[in-house]
Amino acid sequence: MSFFGPPKPVLSPCIGICKLDARGLCEGCHRSGDEIARWLGMTDAERRHLMNDVLPLRTILPPAS
């Protein structure tokens, strides 16, 4: 038994602004179309990596022109 209880699932970063920009990234959550499609099949480790390591870097990239 864990002191902190069972791990919580990693929730989707979707905020309901579902439009891909010129780079192919969602304007709302910054995921690629492939990442959006694969989300339900990803492990929690893959989701955490995407949320903690990949997506924050994409928010600092200049928008596609």
DSSP string, 14-32: --S---B-TTSBBTTT--B
pLDDT band at 63 (very low <50, low <70, confident <90, very high): low
- Residue closest to 31 by CA, chosen among 13, 44, 45, 46: 13
CA atoms of 40 and 47, how far apart (whole Å): 9
Host H or E run for residue 63: none
pTM: 0.80
Q: Are 25 and 32 in contact (CB under 8 A)?
A: yes
* pLDDT tens digits, 6-45: 878 889 999 999 999 999 999 999 999 999 999 999 999 9
